[in-house]
């Protein structure tokens, strides 16, 4: 049996469906899973263990046999904790077959197979009775069904079903309860991820379409490492509010609910964004707490545990509104069975008991479907916009005929505002074409830019009115790009369009370069590190399964990560390892580059970071990686707009920093594939 997987094709800018073996899909899921991250989360594991010991003790104190149901058992870790704590038997449910098989191996390896039964089903399909999956109903419910939004993985329906069908009355639950917190803030940074901001070009003001400003935006939660968002970038307008709690030891409902929290505004400002997180009380008394609060809520931020499987959430209010210090406000959160959304009630209706709760927001303007949140931030980056405007100004003439090749780009609008004679823009979809059309219409430029939904290789002279293109421009940005170098699709476009270009046509950017630096990650290394022993239990079968899946394809490839969320320290200088000359057509033969970087700082090298820089002109460069040079300590400041590439070494290297060790690299760009093969090794001199 074969499976079809979507994969970005950098040579066409399209998403291709590729036939793979039946194992590919689950190898991908295992290789990219958060299991290792969870096993390395000592705070989580310790709190669960303490909560399980307490729950088992409470049931034993009632004189009952302890029967545990563990939903979403994963490695079986929590089930083994329960048996160790004195439970009589445990039913461990895991729907993902490879994971259930790994759990079975781990349970056997640790000597618990006589007291733990692995059930490879969805919990809602589990049966109870003499011939069922469970002989009797359980009296202790252990789950780890949570995501960054708490309920996004279907926790509520699973709990609802379990209480109705699989649990005894008056059961114990670990965790016992969850509490969701929220804080209303003003933040120019975060709001720039949700709404297009006005921009100044040559003294003229480009404004966003009214439809975008009125739109509630994309519904999907924005989950990020909120600890990496500096408190200096937002202004709290109110205190951290307790929004609602869920008691998991009692019947749970997955039906729609709304909750409000009233507070007095502690400062004046624009109510734009809600920051949200949750915590788990592992016992009824609330003495064992596992919190997702960002590090800046701690007195000692370095004491905050790091985890990537649970982060924090950012919610954008449907509209921004002005609030005044001392004003009484009411923040409302609604949730269905899988998601949350927030609203701030209008002044005239605050305190009203008859107002219907707001429905779940959805995008009505198309822009939030065309532009991701990082893309909104990129389009709103004034310094970046100034770089492109300056570069365009240096190449444009009164008779310039411009063609833009980037998805949902404002470059053709800028070119018109700078006085180009004629401007064309290639868009990859009707939706992105419509969004840019609305930008033009909102600024009385309708018809000033001709947008074409045509693939570059299909564009003819007739499509551009018989004109020859004097300026070919791109950011470049393509919505299908996953890794930094996938934007080299611009080179393929430039080559396909060569016959339509004037002999002396300007290409913007003129070139691009691939940059590399060896790094020590503060925490991100955990997602790829084997665990070995976790809280005293041998979980090596899990490590082996992950490694097999990585070896299936992924281990010799880079993977995309937004490195601004994951602090790292450079152990070498950064260097431009490859350069791609867009003024020339794409070569037919592979391009190769080899070199080495000497380690100049001591530390533990986990891998390398990779990114692209675009050289718009000889003296204007835009980086999709480092925002500024690496400082003396090796600290890196990364762009928030694009993901960088990370190539993890199979195991970390301990570096002395005396200059006698180096990381050697080898890159090969394959024009026929549009991808870059890479290899690294650490050598001592």
Buried-exposed string 419-443: b where 16+ CB fall within 10 A, e elsewhere: ebebbbbbbbeeebbbbbbbbbebb
For residue 518, the 8-state DSSP code is E
Which residue(s) pair with 607 in the sheet?
Answer: 519, 648
DSSP code per residue over 4-15: EEEEEETTTTEE
**Residues 326, 268 contacting (CB under 8 angstroms):** no
User: Which alpha helices (H) appear in 453-506, and where do they start and end?
Assistant: 489-496
Q: Closest by alpha carbon to 555, among 678, 388, 433?
A: 678
For residue 126, the 8-state DSSP code is -
Q: Residue 335: CA atoms inside 13 Å, Cβ hemisphere, count?
A: 24
Cα 377 to Cα 385, 615, 620: the distances in Å are: 11, 21, 20
Strands lying side by side in the sheet with 340-344: 257-264, 328-335, 340-344
Specify whether 94 is catalytic: no
Instruction: Please give the backbone phi and psi of residue 49, each rounded to the nearest 5 degrees, phi first.
Output: -60, -45
Grouping H, G, I as helix, E, B as strand and the rest as coil, residue 169 is strand
CA distance 302 to 522: 11
Specify whether 144 is catalytic: yes
* Percent helix, strand and coil across the chain, each to the nearest 5: 25, 35, 40
Give 190-193's long-range contacts (Cβ < 8 A, gap of 24+).
190/229, 190/233, 190/234, 190/272, 190/273, 190/314, 190/316, 191/270, 191/272, 191/273, 191/316, 191/320, 192/376, 192/377, 192/380, 192/381, 193/222, 193/314, 193/316, 193/373, 193/374, 193/376, 193/377
Cα 94 to Cα 98, 101, 122, 150, 547: the distances in Å are: 9, 9, 7, 19, 20
DSSP code per residue over 222-254: EEE-GGGS-GGG-EESSPPEEEEEEETTS----
Which one is catalytic: 144, 149, 186, 320?
144
**Residues 385, 205 contacting (CB under 8 angstroms):** no
Q: Closest by alpha carbon to 428, among 475, 370, 379?
A: 370
Q: Closest by alpha carbon to 672, among 11, 18, 7?
A: 11
Q: Closest by alpha carbon to 93, among 152, 19, 143, 24?
A: 143
Tokens 């934007």 sit on residue: 487
- Neighbour tally for 457: CB within 10 Å: 11
**Residues 643, 377 contacting (CB under 8 angstroms):** no
Asked if the peptide bond before residue 604 counts as cis, ω within 30 degrees of 0, the response is no
CB neighbour list of residue 359: distance below 8 Å, 6 or more residues apart: none
Which one is catalytic: 153, 386, 467, 602?
153
Which residue(s) pair with 501 in the sheet?
Answer: 469
Question: Is residue 580 exposed (0-12), middle (13-18) or buried (19+ Cβ within 10 Å)?
Answer: buried
Task: Please count the residues of the chain.
Answer: 685
**Residues 133, 127 contacting (CB under 8 angstroms):** yes
Instruction: Enumerate the active-site residues.
Output: 144, 153
């Amino acid at each position: 049996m074969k499976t079809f997987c979507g994969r970005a094709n950098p040579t066409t800018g399209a998403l291709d469906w590729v036939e793979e073996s039946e194992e590919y899909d689950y190898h991908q899921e295992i290789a990219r899973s958060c299991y290792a991250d969870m096993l390395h989360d000592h705070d989580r594991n310790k709190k669960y263990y303490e909560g399980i010991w307490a729950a088992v003790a409470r049931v034993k104190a009632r004189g009952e046999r302890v029967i545990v149901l563990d939903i979403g058992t994963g490695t079986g870790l929590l089930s083994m904790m329960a048996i160790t704590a004195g439970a009589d038997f445990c039913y461990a449910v895991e729907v993902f077959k490879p994971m259930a098989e790994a759990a079975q191996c781990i349970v056997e390896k640790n000597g618990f197979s006589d007291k733990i039964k692995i059930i490879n089903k969805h919990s809602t399909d589990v049966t109870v009775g003499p011939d069922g999956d469970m002989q009797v109903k359980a009296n202790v419910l252990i789950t780890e069904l949570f995501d960054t939004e708490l309920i996004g993985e279907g926790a509520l329906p699973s709990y609802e079903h379990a209480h109705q069908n699989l649990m005894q009355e008056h059961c114990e639950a670990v965790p016992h309860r969850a509490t969701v917190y929220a804080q209303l803030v003003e933040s120019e940074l975060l709001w720039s991820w949700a709404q297009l901001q006005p921009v100044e070009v040559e003294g003229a003001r480009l404004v966003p379409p009214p439809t975008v400003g009125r739109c509630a935006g994309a519904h999907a939660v924005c989950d990020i490492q909120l600890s990496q968002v500096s408190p200096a970038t937002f202004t709290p307008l109110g205190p951290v509010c307790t929004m609602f709690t869920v008691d998991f030891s009692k019947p749970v409902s997955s039906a729609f609910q709304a909750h409000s929290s009233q507070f007095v505004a502690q400062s004046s400002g624009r109510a734009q964004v809600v920051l949200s997180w949750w915590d788990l009380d592992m016992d009824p008394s609330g003495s064992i707490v596992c919190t997702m609060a960002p590090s800046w809520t701690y007195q000692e931020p370095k004491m905050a545990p790091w985890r990537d499987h649970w982060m924090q959430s950012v919610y954008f209010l449907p509209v921004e509104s002005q609030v005044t210090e001392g004003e009484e406000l009411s923040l409302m959160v609604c949730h269905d069975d899988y998601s949350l959304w927030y609203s701030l009630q209008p002044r005239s209706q605050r305190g009203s008991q008859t107002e219907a709760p707001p429905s779940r927001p959805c995008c009505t303007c198309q822009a939030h479907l065309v532009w991701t949140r990082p893309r909104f931030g990129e389009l709103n980056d004034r310094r970046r916009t100034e770089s492109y405007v300056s570069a365009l100004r240096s190449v444009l003439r009164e008779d310039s005929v411009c063609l833009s090749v980037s998805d949902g780009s404002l470059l053709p609008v800028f070119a018109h505002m700078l006085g180009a004679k004629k401007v064309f823009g290639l868009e990859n979809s009707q939706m992105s074409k419509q969004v840019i059309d609305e930008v033009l219409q909102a600024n009385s430029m309708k018809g000033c830019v001709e947008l074409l939904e045509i693939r570059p290789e299909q564009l003819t002279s007739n499509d551009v009115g018989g004109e020859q293109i004097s300026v070919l421009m791109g950011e470049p940005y393509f919505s299908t790009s996953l890794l930094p170098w996938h934007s080299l699709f611009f080179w393929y476009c430039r080559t396909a369009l060569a016959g339509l270009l004037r002999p002396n046509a300007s290409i913007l950017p003129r070139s691009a370069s691939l940059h590399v630096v060896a790094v020590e990650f503060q925490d991100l290394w955990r997602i790829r590190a084997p665990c070995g022993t976790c809280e005293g239990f041998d979980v090596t079968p899990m490590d082996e399964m992950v490694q097999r899946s990585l070896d299936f394809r992924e281990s010799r490839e880079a993977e995309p990560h937004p490195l601004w969320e994951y602090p790292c320290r450079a152990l070498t200088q950064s260097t431009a390892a490859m350069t791609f000359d867009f003024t020339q057509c794409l070569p037919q033969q592979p391009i190769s580059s080899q070199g080495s970087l000497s380690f100049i700082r001591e530390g533990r090298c986990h891998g390398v970071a990779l990114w692209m820089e675009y050289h718009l002109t000889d003296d204007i460069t835009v980086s999709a990686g480092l925002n500024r040079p690496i400082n003396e300590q090796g600290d890196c400041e990364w762009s928030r707009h694009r993901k960088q590439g990370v190539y993890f070494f199979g195991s970390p290297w301990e570096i002395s920093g005396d200059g006698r060790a180096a990381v050697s690299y080898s890159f090969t760009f394959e024009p026929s594939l549009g991808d870059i093969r890479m290899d690294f090794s650490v050598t001592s001199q």
